[in-house]
Amino acid sequence: MNERIKKLIDGLALHLQGKEKPLKLSLLTFFSKGHLLIEDLPGLGKTTLAIALAKCLGLSFGRIQCTSDLLPTDITGISVYDKNLGYFNFQPGPIFNNVVLCDEINRAPPKTQSALLEAMEEKQVTVDGKTHKLPRPFCVIATQNPLEQFGTFPLPDSQLDRFAIKISIGYPEEKDEKEILRVGPKRDEISNIEPLIEKEEIQKIQEEIEKGVYVSEKILNYVLSIVSATRRHDYLYVGLSTRGALTIVSTAKTNAFFHGRDFVIPEDIKELAEYVIPHRLLFRAEYENIDKKEFVRSLIEEIPLPL
């Protein structure tokens, strides 16, 4: 594994026992310049993971606690009239941070959820007709409870498609949970994590991945074969979008970099398929309850590897 990435994962693992896989996927999403959706039960460390990620990267952190009465301006900010100066001053909202946690995103009403669309896609927000650029790097980490439906608003497909990766954290192993019980919650410790990397280094790594990791024509054809298979499958109403195809490529490049390579191989795509693809697919009603990750794994296995 790339030494710089290993340092980050090892540093975070000291504070988040038993969460190495979610940590790696979170970092992979971040360095792919993507956004992360965490769907899991309450109390498993979703919020803690987001805070720890921002702290270890030395980036600014904003938290949005989504509720049914949350307004778009509670996210983007608002223009306030200054009577002394005689004009409106823009007061930035929590979206103006490097890492933004949208806790229980499906509790926010659709109008408020839509305030995130421009930010996630174009890294900017428009308020009162004026466009404001967001800080770079920028990453939205959203959480939602997969079981509780009362008082929630399901994310529209257009918004799901803007999340590069969707993960769950899951229950910790017994030995890890025992250690958590022994030492108790680490809220203060998480809040005081020292940065493990400089912001300039983060941007340098992102640029190395974007410009320095090679994707061959054969790999591009392999990605297109996967995309085509989802679009013509009998189980699906809607297959992968072009944005989804671009995300497969960008996350595969980051995965290759994490593994210490400057070129993508099919395994980089196969390893991430169950996290990048399922939430972008719309299944027909009779197949809605199948295991979507297993479906994607089976679909990928049926596609010939590039020679």
**AA identity, residue 276:** V
According to the model, what pLDDT value does residue 149 have? Answer: 66
Q: Are 107 and 69 in contact (CB under 8 A)?
A: no
Query: How many alpha carbons fall within 13 Å on the CB side of residue 10?
Result: 7
Integer Cα distance of 160 and 37 in angstroms: 8
According to the model, what pLDDT value does residue 34 have? Answer: 96
CATH code of the domain made up of 213-301: 1.10.8.80
Distance of CA 121 to the CA centre of its chain: 12
Same-fold call for 3-197 versus 213-301: no
User: What is the residue extent of each domain of the chain?
Assistant: 3-197, 213-301
According to the model, what pLDDT value does residue 47 have? Answer: 84
Pairing verdict, β 77-82 and 124-127: unpaired
> Which has the closest alpha carbon to 50: 103, 124, 120?
103
User: What values do phi and psi take at 131, rounded to 5?
Assistant: -95, 135
Q: Which residues pair with 36 in a beta bridge?
A: 141, 165
Q: Where are the alpha helices (DSSP H) in the chain?
A: 3-13, 20-31, 46-56, 73-76, 110-113, 115-122, 157-160, 174-183, 187-191, 199-212, 217-231, 242-258, 266-276, 292-301
According to the model, what pLDDT value does residue 185 have? Answer: 67
Q: Which two tokens stand for residue 27?
A: 């970092």
According to the model, what pLDDT value does residue 127 have? Answer: 87
Q: Are 105 and 163 in contact (CB under 8 A)?
A: no
Q: Are 146 and 100 in contact (CB under 8 A)?
A: no
pLDDT in tens, 6-56: 889 988 888 787 788 999 999 999 999 999 999 987 777 888 888 899 999
Residues of the chain with pLDDT under 70: 147-151, 185-187
Integer Cα distance of 264 and 222 in angstroms: 11
CATH fold of 3-197, please?
Answer: Rossmann fold (3.40.50)
According to the model, what pLDDT value does residue 148 have? Answer: 63
According to the model, what pLDDT value does residue 79 have? Answer: 87
